[in-house]
Each structure stands twice: as C-alpha cells, then as structure tokens.
A and B are shown apart, each in its own frame.
Chain A
C-alpha cells in the first residue's frame, strides 16, 4: 500500500476512491497482476472452491438462522417448519447441510494436495499451520451445527463429544459441566452451541484472510515444487487462474447440485430425523463422515496403561483416546518439521509418493472403521490403521528425509513445462 507505485485508474470514481483507500490497487496487485506459477493443475482449484463454500455456508446459514429456534422443545420442530413451510426453506437447509460435506470434501482435497506437493515446507510453514487451524475450527463449527436440529444423533453426538473433556484428570467433570451448562446436554447447551455456530464461521473468515495474506507473501507452490525464477515461470493470476478456478468451481457446483437436488439425505443419518430423547441412546452413534477418521482414532485406544507392577492406572483408555485424537491433528501441525527433505513435490520423491498414497488409504480405512460398531474385527483393524497413521508422520517422514534418493529437479518451471509440450 505504498503511495509512490499507485497507477492511475481511468474511471474517475474508482480513482477518487483508490487515492483515499487503495482497495482497487490492492485487488489489482494481489489478484490481477499477481504472478502465479504457470503450471498449476486442477488440484489448485480447491482453495478457491473452499472459499466459495465458506461464503455459501455463511449466506445460507444467516437465512436459516432467521427461521431456526434454539430451544430444546422447539428446535426440531423449527427445522421441520423450515423444510415444509418456509419459502425455499428446504433448499436453504439442503444447501447448508450438504454444503458442510462439500466444504470438508474440498478442504480435504486441498490438504492432501498440499501434502503431495510439499506445500507445507519452508517458507510456507505458517501458511500450512493456519490451514490446519481452519480445519480444526471447521470441525468445531460442523459439530455444533449438527447439534442444532436436535435429532437423536445431534443429542448423542453432543453428549459423546462433550464427554471427551471428562477424560482430563481432576477437573474433567467440572469442565464438562461448564461446557454444557448443566449436568446433561440440555437447553443451555443447545443455546450456546447456536451462538458459537454463528460466531465461529466469522473466526474462520479471519483466519482464511491471514492464510491468504501469508500465501501472497510466499507465493503459491506448484506441482513441480520449485520456486519460480523468472517472468517466464509465471503468468498473471487474472485472467488465467480466475478462469481456471471458475471452470473447476462450475464442475464442483454441478456435483454439489446433484447431491442437493437428487440425494439430499444420502450423507445424513436417518436417526437425526427422530427428535432427541435424552433417555434413549441410539443403537449406533456415528459422527458425520468428515469426522469419521478422527472418531476411529479416538476409539482405537482400548488399553489402560498401568504403572508397572501396580494397579495404579497412569493413562486410562478414555484419556488415551482423546490424546491420540489430538495427536492426529498435532501430527499435521508438525509436518513441516517432521519432513526435512529439501525436495517438495512427490513427483521427484519416488518413495514418498508411495508412502503418501498408502497414507491416503490409511485415512480411508480409518473413515470406514469410524462408521462401524465397536466390535472385532473392526477394533483390531482400527488399531493397526491408527498405528500406521502415526508411523507415517513419526517414522516414515523422518526416515525418508534422510535416506530417500530423489530424482533430479528441472532447472526451471518454464523449462519443464515447455519440454513436456
């Protein structure tokens, strides 16, 4: 926002505003001329797609909030009223409920893309960390949003997740009582979850802003994982990537619309169309699909760890599960320091490439296990998958950074791209 470099705008109104508040200069610099690697593939669409979903969720959410009532005796009914009586209410609700799934889907692809191409590495560590913070905020927001319709899964999901905090030694139960505002999940819980579900998306907007600001400092990574060296390696963001993002977004929205209009309940749980009953636990509590891998990790810890030769429990299975689940997120945060390989992109890392795809399979297996009953053989499979999840970060990444023989990197993006053609 320096004064000297401002270019004049032809439109006098725009120019008048820009002289006083250089928003147009900023947009021109950060989104118009912004030099971007020329070799993005379609996986680079998912940042923009995620942003679109965030806006969609906030827009539909605000209108839903105008019709929704956060009280235990009326919440379920108010959601049914939205579905039946409110003009276009069914559309708003289906867009919002399935939008959460689409948002997570886009964000997970975005994260896996970052992992594959080494986007978390220097100098983008903080950018990556803010991305994981966004993921955690999304999980909290998604979870609290799922409680609002006050169905059976809402209620029991809320009960199970808030009880995770009771695993904390000594003060655990007081923390749970404080969190839910009573001795069981009830009206105070529903009220505060609504307040927080409305608040957190705006916190996400703020962190997304920082995420994008940091991106514009380091510049984007690219499929080759090498930094642009000259003007030949980059193209302006507009019109090249605005149009590419728009195309990717259109395909994504078609997919979103197919779900909303033709299978709006396919990702939901039928039990959530039964009003919450605090006296009866459903036979099988499952979180939404996007939380399943973490739920599987939570349940994988079934042992009590004792102080040797005594019966004093050092770490019970409940606390152990909670620590593992937190650890699963912490692994992502630590990834820039666990992987010391100087080569970013998996394109030039033959062993990392295999490890990455195995990791994706492990995440899918965990997701599948998270949806199963806590019984054999699922418990054992879940435990193996959890062990593999952690060994990817704590064993494979450090070992590969030391012993992997990477392929030679091209001297520049332009050279690699033009040679291919």
Chain B
C-alpha cells in the first residue's frame, strides 16, 4: 500500500523506496533486441546523485528549472530524479515537437539547465539559440570529439559533493506544457502535492508489486507516462523498462523478453497488439480455434464481476504468451479508445483501464476500477476529485468541471489564461460529458475549439492558422475543430476545417491549390480536412481580432455536409 501522507515531495518518496528496495531492478533500457543497461535502485541512486552534483557544481539551487528534451530512455529518469533531489522544478518537453517548437517553450520557461541528447542538440545548434540564453545545456550520447558548441557533456564527472534538497508539498514540482507551441504557451504548474496525492490514489487502485515491471512506451514527458512509468513504479519498488525503438515488433518482443506486467498505451498501439493477437487466432486450425473460443467464453463469464489474471492466464495461456504471459493491466486514455477494442482484450483476460485526464489535473480525473468492467464510460472520479456537469442540457450533458487536490496551481506567467481555466477553484475542462446514476462519467464531445489526436496530442486550431497566412486571394481565414461548430456527441472522428473569406476577385482554384500544398507540409495530424467558403466579414473585436465563438455560432446554422468542401489530405 502506497502511503505518502508524511512525504513532502516526489524526490523524498522515491528516495524512501530506494532505501527499501536497494537491490531490486529499477530500470532496464533496451534497444531493439539489445540491452543497453540495467540499474538497481542503489545504482539509480548513485547515478542520480552524480547528476544532481553536476547541476549543483554550477550553482543550481532549489526552485531552479531543469528542462528535459529526451526520447524514452533510462537517462531521462536518472536526470529527472537527480534534478528532483536538488530541488529542481522539472520541465518535461515533448521530444517529438519540432526543434523550433521546443525552443519556443524553452524560451517561455527559461530553464537554468536543459538536458538533451546529441541528436537533438545538433538540430538545435542550427537554429537561433536566443531562447536558451542563460541556460546551461547538458548533452548526452555525444560521439567522442563532437563539437557541442556552448554545451557540456551530461556524463561529465564532478568533484562537487551532492547535497540533497527536498521541497515542500506546495512547491511546484513540474511545469508541463499542454499546448501553445505557436499560441500562448500553457505551462501547467503542478505541485508536489498534486503528484503525491495522485500517486497515492492510483497506487491504491492499481498497485504495482516490487517484482512487477512497467513498460514505458509513451514518452516520459507525457503526463500518463510521467506518473505511471516514472513516479509510481519507482515509489513502489517495481522496475521500468524503456525500449529505444518503439516499432511494433520490438514492443511485442520486449513484452515477452522482459515479462512486462503493466503498460500504458495510446489507441494506435493497442490496435497493433489486437491485430497481432487476431492474426494468431486466425492461424489456428478449426479444432484448437474452437477450444480457444470456448475458453474465451468461459473467461468472459468467470471474470464478469472482477478481473482474475491467474485464471485468465490459465484458460488462455497461448494468447497471453503472445503478449509476454505476464501482462496484468493496460492503461489507456478513454477519450478515443474504441470500446470494441477494449472489450476484445477484456474477453481475453487482459483488462484495459479506461480513464480520463488532463495535464491541468495532473494526470487522471476518472478511471474505470474494473469491478465490474465497463467499456462505455471513463469511470468514476478518483478519490478526492469532484466532478460536476455545469450548464447541462435536457439530456444531462454539459461541461465537465473538476475540483480537488490534483488541480494545477495555474499556467506559468499567464494569469488571464489561469483565470479562464480555474474558476473558484474549479477547473473548466472544456470537455462535454454526463454523469450516470452510479457516478460514472461519459464524455460527449468538446465545448472548446480543439481536437486531440489518437496519439494523445492536443491540437489547437489557432496554432495552425499561421501556416495559411497570406493565402493568395484570401482576405481572412480561421481554423476550427469541426466538432466544435457542429457537436456530434462523441469524441471520435475529430477533424479540422479552415474557413476562408476570399477577395471579390479571388481565383478560388489557385487559392485552394496553395491551401492543399501548404496543408501537405504539415504533419498529418495537423492537416485540415476541408474548407468552408464564407463571403461575409468575420465578426471581430474592436482590435480586429476574430470573435471565434460568434463565427462558430453563425456557421452552425449551416448544414455541416453542405458547408464543408473536402480536401484531398
């Protein structure tokens, strides 16, 4: 049982675990079928302290910020832990962003130290590094003799003695960006209390035993992996596996080779695992197939009220072996998970816990406790978190508001955005939902103009508009999430559309041609799927800023199918 009441910060909780679980394996880093290294808790402590001392050797003080831009790997955790132990505020930055996007966020949070890999640093050095003025850069995995410019090697040894620095529960532990690579950055300030409260609640619901293993597939900068693949397993003495290559075959082989017990996924990975299992089932001859089908039915009946991993594994051993044989639970963000997919895995005795969360609420707001398994909702609010449905319509659908100890302190240096997001201590999620009589939350769409991709990326349409600036013949344009204009009652099938107001003498064909060309330069998840032509001026404020809400209201009077001209994306 994870008890963190007397703990003051994340670093202290993990240090306590290190004292208890010294000889347990803490980290394993694999690269394809190779193993790069293993760390016991004792070795993790030594490496994290070395890194902490390196930070302190250059005057790093409690409250200073340490940003990390790294792929999923053991040094992410070593750096993060070492930084926590010298009192740092961690700033995990998405390594999959483009370098200019990363620099925008780094320029916003102005970290004292940036930790990154050589492959990223080489790309950064080609850009204007003004956002990093005053930031010391520590680069790992640089080849011998490589030119690092102003940066220093992460591996540098120091004679500085390490000095442990704990923080209080109310201090900011992390600044996590939920959006804003081209708009106003939204850096969520999350306190140690936020994390410790969340870890305690989730640790009680989904305990990870010290002999169990979490497979860190999502990037560690991602809120879910940060909690489930870094903070929680290390507080409970379990081990964390990192795989440098996230190609499907290496994910599958790692599940087997390292006997993974827990993992968190995005739907695309779950679909891939499903495909593989289905292929195996299809390969079976008639007789064995009938036996497996009967075992699936028996398992479904026997675990209807509660998962029973031992029983399911006994009944369906060949299928479980395909996924390593030890897999006990899978965590998935519920917003986009296909219910049939989740049911498929549950029937095989591999429960998929569907949850709902926002970075602004640390990680998880609600999660299905699997007792009994329900695939149609995103579960009940976790202990200590209150959820209310505000401004509900006749069907009980309204905006989801959240209150509790996991709600962030606010956005970094953005008091206006914070005031919009947190009203009287309640976090406005911008998502639409309803609560049933048993308190389960069902998501019904979005009240805000944004989409979230299946890979878990938040896309704010405003951030994409600059790509279409100065489109020939276009007077004004505005990008929307189509489901924001025309609510569908679901969170699936989200797409972006651009509203165009052409000049009176515009060449529409040329405009659309240019639109398509620029659209194709965007990553596929940021592309608009259609356009809407509007002849009237966009409603605007006195300072000529488009009133998006009013424009959406006006567009809503049109039929969606008639209004949108599909683009070949």
- A is bound by B: no
- Which B residues fall within an 8 A CB radius of A? none
- Which A residues fall within an 8 A CB radius of B? none
